[in-house]
Chain A
Amino acid sequence: DAGITQSPRHKVTETGTPVTLRCHQTENHRYMYWYRQDPGHGLRLIHYSYGVKDTDKGEVSDGYSVSRSKTEDFLLTLESATSSQTSVYFCAIRGTGGEQFFGPGTRLTVL
Protein backbone atom coordinates (compact mmCIF):
# COMPACT_ATOMS: atom_id res chain seq x y z
CA ASP A 1 0.00 0.00 0.00
CA ALA A 2 3.07 2.26 -0.26
CA GLY A 3 2.53 3.44 3.31
CA ILE A 4 -0.19 5.99 2.52
CA THR A 5 -2.94 6.82 4.93
CA GLN A 6 -5.73 9.35 4.62
CA SER A 7 -7.83 10.94 7.32
CA PRO A 8 -10.64 11.19 7.87
CA ARG A 9 -11.96 8.31 5.78
CA HIS A 10 -15.48 9.70 5.79
CA LYS A 11 -16.78 13.17 6.50
CA VAL A 12 -20.11 14.89 6.28
CA THR A 13 -20.11 18.65 6.50
CA GLU A 14 -22.29 21.62 5.71
CA THR A 15 -21.97 24.13 2.92
CA GLY A 16 -19.72 27.02 3.86
CA THR A 17 -17.65 25.21 6.46
CA PRO A 18 -13.89 24.69 6.12
CA VAL A 19 -12.63 21.16 5.69
CA THR A 20 -9.09 19.78 5.80
CA LEU A 21 -8.12 16.37 4.56
CA ARG A 22 -4.82 14.82 5.49
CA CYS A 23 -2.54 12.53 3.57
CA HIS A 24 0.34 10.88 5.36
CA GLN A 25 3.13 8.81 3.84
CA THR A 26 5.85 6.87 5.57
CA GLU A 27 8.34 6.35 2.75
CA ASN A 28 9.78 9.82 2.19
CA HIS A 29 8.51 10.26 -1.37
CA ARG A 30 9.06 13.66 -2.89
CA TYR A 31 5.92 13.87 -5.01
CA MET A 32 2.43 13.79 -3.54
CA TYR A 33 -0.89 14.36 -5.28
CA TRP A 34 -4.52 15.08 -4.48
CA TYR A 35 -7.24 13.84 -6.83
CA ARG A 36 -10.99 13.78 -6.80
CA GLN A 37 -13.05 10.98 -8.30
CA ASP A 38 -16.60 11.50 -9.51
CA PRO A 39 -18.97 9.31 -11.51
CA GLY A 40 -18.45 9.73 -15.24
CA HIS A 41 -15.02 11.26 -14.78
CA GLY A 42 -11.58 9.83 -14.50
CA LEU A 43 -9.48 10.84 -11.55
CA ARG A 44 -8.85 14.56 -11.78
CA LEU A 45 -5.84 16.28 -10.32
CA ILE A 46 -6.50 19.02 -7.79
CA HIS A 47 -3.00 19.93 -6.63
CA TYR A 48 0.33 18.25 -6.33
CA SER A 49 3.54 18.80 -4.42
CA TYR A 50 7.11 18.21 -5.51
CA GLY A 51 8.71 18.94 -2.16
CA VAL A 52 8.23 20.67 1.16
CA LYS A 53 6.48 23.99 0.53
CA ASP A 54 6.54 23.31 -3.25
CA THR A 55 3.11 22.85 -4.77
CA ASP A 56 1.37 23.37 -8.09
CA LYS A 57 -2.18 23.46 -9.37
CA GLY A 58 -3.90 20.73 -11.27
CA GLU A 59 -6.91 20.61 -13.54
CA VAL A 60 -9.57 21.29 -10.90
CA SER A 61 -7.84 23.45 -8.30
CA ASP A 62 -10.52 26.16 -7.85
CA GLY A 63 -11.89 26.14 -4.31
CA TYR A 64 -8.99 24.09 -2.93
CA SER A 65 -5.70 24.91 -1.31
CA VAL A 66 -2.87 22.67 -0.17
CA SER A 67 0.04 22.78 2.19
CA ARG A 68 3.11 20.66 2.72
CA SER A 69 5.18 21.66 5.71
CA LYS A 70 6.71 18.20 6.16
CA THR A 71 7.70 15.57 3.65
CA GLU A 72 5.29 13.05 5.09
CA ASP A 73 2.13 15.18 5.20
CA PHE A 74 0.13 16.78 2.40
CA LEU A 75 -2.99 18.64 3.44
CA LEU A 76 -5.94 19.54 1.23
CA THR A 77 -8.20 22.36 2.44
CA LEU A 78 -11.62 23.38 1.23
CA GLU A 79 -11.87 26.91 2.60
CA SER A 80 -15.64 27.04 2.24
CA ALA A 81 -17.12 23.73 1.18
CA THR A 82 -19.77 23.62 -1.55
CA SER A 83 -22.05 20.79 -2.64
CA SER A 84 -20.07 20.47 -5.88
CA GLN A 85 -17.11 19.36 -3.77
CA THR A 86 -18.94 16.25 -2.64
CA SER A 87 -16.63 13.57 -3.95
CA VAL A 88 -14.15 10.87 -3.11
CA TYR A 89 -10.68 12.29 -2.61
CA PHE A 90 -7.56 10.27 -3.19
CA CYS A 91 -4.03 11.05 -2.25
CA ALA A 92 -1.17 9.52 -4.22
CA ILE A 93 2.59 9.40 -4.09
CA ARG A 94 5.05 8.94 -6.89
CA GLY A 95 7.37 6.03 -6.40
CA THR A 96 11.03 5.89 -7.26
CA GLY A 97 10.27 4.27 -10.62
CA GLY A 98 7.73 6.93 -11.54
CA GLU A 99 4.70 4.90 -10.56
CA GLN A 100 1.75 6.40 -8.73
CA PHE A 101 0.36 4.65 -5.68
CA PHE A 102 -2.88 5.68 -4.08
CA GLY A 103 -4.23 5.94 -0.60
CA PRO A 104 -7.56 4.44 0.50
CA GLY A 105 -9.58 7.60 -0.14
CA THR A 106 -11.77 10.01 1.80
CA ARG A 107 -15.47 10.18 1.06
CA LEU A 108 -16.65 13.75 1.59
CA THR A 109 -20.28 14.77 1.57
CA VAL A 110 -21.19 18.46 1.62
CA LEU A 111 -24.82 19.08 2.54
Chain B
Amino acid sequence: GESVGLHLPTLSVQEGDNSIINCAYSNSASDYFIWYKQESGKGPQFIIDIRSNMDKRQGQRVTVLLNKTVKHLSLQIAATQPGDSAVYFCAENLGNQFYFGTGTSLTVIP
Protein backbone atom coordinates (compact mmCIF):
# COMPACT_ATOMS: atom_id res chain seq x y z
CA GLY B 1 0.00 0.00 0.00
CA GLU B 2 0.90 3.60 -0.20
CA SER B 3 2.72 5.29 2.62
CA VAL B 4 1.62 8.71 3.69
CA GLY B 5 3.41 9.96 6.74
CA LEU B 6 3.50 12.98 8.97
CA HIS B 7 6.71 14.40 10.35
CA LEU B 8 5.49 15.08 13.90
CA PRO B 9 2.83 13.27 15.87
CA THR B 10 2.11 16.29 18.12
CA LEU B 11 2.34 20.03 17.80
CA SER B 12 1.65 22.72 20.40
CA VAL B 13 1.29 26.37 19.45
CA GLN B 14 0.32 29.54 21.21
CA GLU B 15 -3.00 31.05 20.35
CA GLY B 16 -2.53 33.61 17.62
CA ASP B 17 0.63 32.04 16.22
CA ASN B 18 0.80 30.30 12.88
CA SER B 19 0.86 26.51 12.70
CA ILE B 20 2.58 24.37 10.12
CA ILE B 21 1.77 20.68 9.76
CA ASN B 22 3.77 18.55 7.36
CA CYS B 23 3.08 15.43 5.37
CA ALA B 24 5.22 13.23 3.14
CA TYR B 25 3.76 11.07 0.43
CA SER B 26 5.38 8.22 -1.41
CA ASN B 27 3.90 7.95 -4.89
CA SER B 28 4.92 10.51 -7.46
CA ALA B 29 1.87 9.54 -9.55
CA SER B 30 -0.51 10.88 -6.91
CA ASP B 31 -2.40 13.76 -8.45
CA TYR B 32 -4.68 15.06 -5.74
CA PHE B 33 -4.28 15.73 -2.03
CA ILE B 34 -6.60 16.66 0.79
CA TRP B 35 -6.10 17.91 4.32
CA TYR B 36 -8.57 16.86 6.99
CA LYS B 37 -9.31 17.99 10.52
CA GLN B 38 -10.69 15.48 12.98
CA GLU B 39 -12.02 16.40 16.38
CA SER B 40 -12.46 13.79 19.06
CA GLY B 41 -15.45 11.56 18.45
CA LYS B 42 -16.21 13.06 15.04
CA GLY B 43 -15.64 12.19 11.43
CA PRO B 44 -12.83 13.75 9.41
CA GLN B 45 -13.71 17.18 8.12
CA PHE B 46 -12.47 18.36 4.73
CA ILE B 47 -10.31 21.49 5.08
CA ILE B 48 -8.63 22.13 1.76
CA ASP B 49 -7.40 20.28 -1.27
CA ILE B 50 -4.79 20.74 -3.95
CA ARG B 51 -4.13 19.13 -7.30
CA SER B 52 -0.71 18.17 -8.54
CA ASN B 53 -0.66 20.92 -11.16
CA MET B 54 -0.60 23.51 -8.37
CA ASP B 55 2.05 24.47 -5.81
CA LYS B 56 -0.09 26.46 -3.44
CA ARG B 57 -3.71 26.93 -2.59
CA GLN B 58 -5.25 29.25 -0.04
CA GLY B 59 -8.46 29.07 1.88
CA GLN B 60 -9.80 30.92 4.84
CA ARG B 61 -6.86 31.06 7.30
CA VAL B 62 -5.37 27.94 5.73
CA THR B 63 -2.80 27.44 3.00
CA VAL B 64 -1.63 24.18 1.49
CA LEU B 65 1.77 23.94 -0.16
CA LEU B 66 2.77 21.10 -2.45
CA ASN B 67 6.36 20.28 -3.30
CA LYS B 68 6.30 17.51 -5.86
CA THR B 69 10.08 17.37 -6.12
CA VAL B 70 10.42 16.03 -2.59
CA LYS B 71 6.88 14.67 -2.32
CA HIS B 72 5.96 16.91 0.55
CA LEU B 73 2.74 18.60 1.54
CA SER B 74 2.19 21.16 4.27
CA LEU B 75 -0.79 22.82 5.89
CA GLN B 76 -0.39 26.29 7.30
CA ILE B 77 -2.96 27.67 9.69
CA ALA B 78 -2.80 31.39 10.29
CA ALA B 79 -3.61 32.97 13.66
CA THR B 80 -4.31 29.62 15.29
CA GLN B 81 -7.33 29.58 17.56
CA PRO B 82 -8.40 27.20 20.35
CA GLY B 83 -11.03 25.75 18.02
CA ASP B 84 -8.23 24.59 15.74
CA SER B 85 -7.15 22.01 18.31
CA ALA B 86 -7.66 18.65 16.62
CA VAL B 87 -5.88 15.92 14.71
CA TYR B 88 -4.90 16.90 11.19
CA PHE B 89 -4.02 14.43 8.48
CA CYS B 90 -3.37 14.40 4.81
CA ALA B 91 -4.74 12.12 2.13
CA GLU B 92 -3.19 11.14 -1.18
CA ASN B 93 -5.31 10.12 -4.16
CA LEU B 94 -4.37 7.45 -6.65
CA GLY B 95 -7.11 6.41 -9.04
CA ASN B 96 -10.22 5.47 -7.10
CA GLN B 97 -8.48 5.19 -3.76
CA PHE B 98 -7.17 7.51 -1.08
CA TYR B 99 -4.33 6.80 1.33
CA PHE B 100 -4.16 8.52 4.65
CA GLY B 101 -1.48 9.57 7.10
CA THR B 102 -1.77 8.83 10.80
CA GLY B 103 -2.17 12.46 11.77
CA THR B 104 -0.65 15.25 13.82
CA SER B 105 -2.36 16.29 17.00
CA LEU B 106 -2.45 20.07 17.24
CA THR B 107 -2.91 21.66 20.64
CA VAL B 108 -3.51 25.39 20.89
CA ILE B 109 -2.31 26.95 24.14
CA PRO B 110 -4.45 29.92 25.23
Contact = CB atoms under 8 A, between A and B. Distances in A.
Interface of A: 31, 33, 40-45, 48, 50, 56, 58-59, 90, 97-105
5 contacts: A33-B98, A42-B99, A43-B98, A44-B100, A45-B98
Interface in B40-75: 42-46, 49
A56 B96 contact: yes
From B44, B49, B89, B103, name the one whose CB has the most chain A CB atoms within 10 angstroms.
B44
A98 B34 CA distance: 10
A48 B97 contact: yes
A40 B43 contact: no
B102 interface: yes
Nearest to A48: B96
B108 interface: no
A41 B9 CA distance: 12
Contacts of A103: 43
Given A99-B34, A99-B49, A41 B43 contact: no
Contact of A31 (B89, B96, B99): B96
A42 B100 contact: yes
B34 A100 contact: yes
Contacts of B89: 42-43
B30 interface: no
Interface string B80-99: 00000000010101001111
A89 B54 CA distance: 32
Contact of A100 (B1, B98, B101): B98
Contacts of A104: 42-43
B77 interface: no
Contact of B46 (A41, A58, A101): A101
Given A90-B44, A101-B46, A103-B43, A42 B96 contact: no
B34 A42 contact: no
A105 B34 contact: no
Given A90-B44, A102-B44, A103-B43, A42 B97 contact: no
